[in-house]
Chain A
Amino acid sequence: MNEDVGYLLGLADDALIASHRLSEWSSQAHDLEEDIALSNIALDLLGQARMLLTLAGEREGAGRDEDALAYLRDEREFRNVQLVELPRGDFAVTVVRMLFFSAYQAELYLRLEAESGERPDLAAIAAKSLKEVAYHLDHATRWTVRLGDGTAESHRRAQRAVDELWPYTHELFETEGDLRGAWLARVERVLAEATLTRPADDADRFRPTGGRSGVHTEHMGYLLAEMQHLHRSHPGAVW
């Protein structure tokens, strides 16, 4: 696979799978406002995924459009990091993952936006997406602080989410290592305000990897089965 296509698919699949996990909250959140917020954020990410998948398909030049790429690839062809495919968990897991992921997207899109001379099409998508990611990051920040610095129970759950998700954040920086410093500064500031701590960076700790080369957790297949089954049962179905 062309290196650029693989890179674009990584960005697109991160957004697509994160969107799918968030959309699982539609009609399930604890109040109407939060339900609408999570669905809105899922919709933004879906829009970003569609632009990126379309661009990846054009670059590939094999006639695959956004639907072919979203619905007709198998698990090993998806290039998203494992962080976004993990089950949605409780609300703390959803919030903390949104914090980690949107802080990463913010740094990434800021850099891609600045590289408009080299990749104008991608820079345009990044510039557009960045305005939306600012809202996602803001939403995740407010909730992380509210949960972490809230009741004993909300603190316990938020801390557990940080501890469980942290190992998966390393994969974000395997190809974007230069972004981790800025990401850490952003995330650590929020965690400190939320009275939460993060695991140390010891190299011998659990550091799952493989998403970018198509190796996924056991949860990915179930997610794809739900996401893809309608299109595969009714090929070419459109709204």
Chain B
Amino acid sequence: MTADAFATAAAVTDPELPVVTIAELGILRDAHGDGTTATVTITPTYSGCPAMGTIRADIARALRAAGYTEVDIRTEYAPAWTTDWITPAGRRKLAAAGIAPPGAAPGGRTGLPLVGAPPPECPRCGSTEVAELSRFGPTACTSLWRCHTCLEPFEHVKPH
């Protein structure tokens, strides 16, 4: 007896942002079962994301536990991952964990050079009086900010 492959894979959490699932982040593109074989398609957030290996292992473990003996995990690069795929539930959970969710990704062709995206709201107090400390944060997809109102630092998932 096997559980629904998509629901099983969708429940796997992101190793670096464990408050959200890989489905909520838009990393999981497809998953379906055929007998005891599950086929999963994922896409990396950033091309160097070091969490991909762990995510693959976590998906395989979850699907085996759900009764699938064969798990085929494919990686797809196109269309390229965008933060616009993060679901509303995913955004709420990020904010609740103190990580400001992204605004809309730069539309169409990549804006070069990068123009300053609108600043996020502080996920703790909602203030817009914030300053960017570093465009590169502890994970590839986040930047570091500071709130001038509540004086707390916070992470922000960069619009991408």
Across the interface, do B48 and A134 meet the contact criterion of CB distance under 8 Å?
Answer: no
Across the interface, do A46 and B136 meet the contact criterion of CB distance under 8 Å?
Answer: no
Is A45 located at the chain interface by the 8 A CB criterion? yes
Shortest Cβ distance from B45 into chain A, in angstroms? 10
Is A5 located at the chain interface by the 8 A CB criterion? no
Of the candidates A45, A120, A130, A138, which one forms a contact with B48 in the assembled complex, judged by CB atoms under 8 Å apart?
A: A45
Is B118 located at the chain interface by the 8 A CB criterion? no
Residues of A near B110 (CB, < 8 A) are 110, 130-131, 134
User: In the complex, which of the residues A37, A45, A131 has the most CB atoms of chain B within 10 Å of its own CB atom?
Assistant: A131
Interface class of chain A by DSSP: helix
Known: A44-B47, A131-B80. A37 touches B114 (CB 8 A): no
Kindly state the separation between the CA atoms of A106 and B110 in the bound complex, as whole angstroms.
Answer: 10
How many B residues have CB within 8 A of the partner chain?
Answer: 27
Across the interface, do B134 and A134 meet the contact criterion of CB distance under 8 Å?
Answer: no
Is B137 located at the chain interface by the 8 A CB criterion? yes
14 residue pairs bridging A and B, Cβ less than 8 Å apart: A33-B133, A36-B138, A44-B140, A46-B48, A47-B47, A50-B48, A110-B112, A124-B78, A127-B79, A130-B112, A135-B114, A138-B114, A138-B135, A186-B113
Interface residues of A (CB under 8 A from B): 33-34, 36-37, 39-41, 43-48, 50-51, 106, 110, 120, 123-125, 127-132, 134-135, 137-139, 141, 186, 239
Interface residues of B (CB under 8 A from A): 44, 46-50, 53, 77-81, 109-114, 133-138, 140, 144, 160
Q: A33-B133, A43-B46, A138-B114 are in contact. List 7 more A-B contacts (CB 8 A).
A: A37-B135, A40-B136, A48-B47, A50-B48, A127-B79, A130-B112, A141-B113
